[in-house]
Amino acid sequence: MVGRGVTVVLAGPPAQRLAAVAPVFRQIGDLKRVRVAHADGSAAERAFVRAWTALVAGADPGAVAARECAAAVAGARLGGLDAPTLTACGLSAPDVENVLAGAVAELADALHPGTVGRLHAALPELAADHAAEDGGPPFVSALRRQPRAGATAPGRARLVVEPAENHAEHCWAVAVYGALLAEDVGADPGSAFLLGLAHHLHNARLPDAGFAGELLLGEHLGTVTDRLTEIELATLPAPLAARVRATLTGRADAHSPLGAAFHAADVLDRVLQAHHHARAAAFTAEQALVDLELVHDGPVAGYHHAVLRAAGL
C-alpha cells in the first residue's frame, strides 16, 4: 500500500479481503443513518447501548461480538427490520432466524468462512433474545451526544459536514468491523469488538477537536486521554474494567493481530464516513431512477413511467 510516497507492506488483513469487505462495511456503516419510529437514535447507536448493557451485566465479549456482528450484517440488508421488530410483527423465532439468515447470506461471500460460521451460530440467540437498548454506564449516553470532529488538518479551516456522526456510532462501527476482520489476522473477535467499543472512552468528557486539535494539545494529549479514560473505566464492574484496560493496549501499533484488526477497522470507518458525505453531496435523481430503480417493475410500472413522462420528470 502506498501513502505519502512511502511503500508499506500490508501485514494485516489480506488485500483481497479488504477489497471484498469494503462494500459490505459501507452498507453496515449506513446503520448510523437508519432510524425507526419506535426508538430513539440510529440503529448503530442502539446497538452500541445494547452491547455495553450486555457487557456490564456480565456477558462474554465474544458472545456479544458474535450477536452484534450478526445483527449488523443482517441490518445491512434489512435496515430497521431487526429481530425485535420482526417478532413484534408476529413472526416466530424460527421465522425470524430464517429472515436474518437470508440477509446474512447475501453478504457472506465477502467474509472469512470462520466469521460466517460465527455469525450463523449467533442467529438463534439473536432471533430469540432481545437485549435491552437502554441503560449502560454514563459514558454510553455521553458518547451518543458527543459529535465527531470529522477531517481536520493543521493550518487549515475546519471542514464541517452535517449531520455529524457521534462517537457511539463510530465506536460501534469500529467494533463490528474489527470483529468481522478478526479471523483474517488471527485476533480474538471478542477483544477486537471490545477495543472498538472502548477506544474513545475519553471523549465522553473531551470534546473532539480532531487531529489538528490533538496536535495543539501536544505533550498533554496522552496524559489527558489516559486520565479521562480511567475516570470512565471506574464506572465499570472491576473485572470488565480490567479486561477493557488490557485490551486498550492493542491501540499502540498494528503489529499484533489485535492491533491489525483494530487499525484496519478504524481507518476504514473514518474514510467510509467521508465517502458517505461525498456521495450524499453528489447524489442525483438519475441515480435513484436508473441505478436504484426507484420506479421498479410491477403491475403499475407502465402507468408510473407515463405519469413521470407527462410531468417532465
Tell me how far apart the alpha carbons of residues 130 and 121 are, in angstroms, rounded to a whole number. Answer: 16
Residue 227 lies in a domain: yes
Same domain, 132 and 270: yes
Same domain, 85 and 221: yes
pLDDT digit string (tens) for the chain, length 313 residues: 334 444 444 567 888 999 999 999 999 999 999 999 999 999 999 999 999 999 999 999 999 999 999 999 999 999 999 999 999 999 999 999 999 999 999 999 999 999 999 999 999 999 997 777 777 899 999 999 999 988 788 888 887 778 889 999 999 999 999 999 999 999 999 999 999 999 999 999 999 998 888 899 999 999 999 999 999 999 999 999 999 999 999 999 999 999 999 999 999 999 999 888 888 877 777 877 787 788 888 888 888 988 878 878 7
DSSP secondary structure letters along 244-274: HHHHGGGGS-SSSHHHHHHHHHHHHHHHHHH
Residue 36 lies in a domain: yes
Residues spanned by the domain of 311: 285-313
Tell me how far apart the alpha carbons of residues 257 and 99 are, in angstroms, rounded to a whole number. Answer: 33
Considering only CA atoms, which of 219, 176, 221, 174 is closest in space to residue 202?
A: 221
Residue 4 lies in a domain: no
Residue 66 lies in a domain: yes
Residue 152 lies in a domain: no
Place of cell 468462512: 113
* Cα angle 307-308-313, degrees, rounded to a multiple of 5: 155
Same domain, 271 and 296: no
Helix axis angle, 210-217 to 220-233, nearest 10°: 110
Same domain, 306 and 227: no
Place of cell 489485535: 258
Same domain, 308 and 201: no
Same domain, 244 and 205: yes
Tell me how many domains the chain contains: 2
Residue 256 lies in a domain: yes
b/e per residue 187-204 (b: at least 16 CB within 10 A): bbbbbbbbbbbbbbbbbb
Same domain, 74 and 171: yes
Tell me how far apart the alpha carbons of residues 172 and 166 are, in angstroms, rounded to a whole number. Answer: 10
How large is the C-alpha radius of gyration of the chain? Answer: 21
Same domain, 220 and 87: yes
pTM (two decimals): 0.89
Residue 156 lies in a domain: no
Same domain, 277 and 179: yes
Same domain, 182 and 117: yes
E-assigned strand segments in the chain:
2-3, 6-7
Residue 233 lies in a domain: yes
Residues 17, 181 contacting (CB under 8 angstroms): yes
Same domain, 184 and 310: no
Same domain, 294 and 277: no
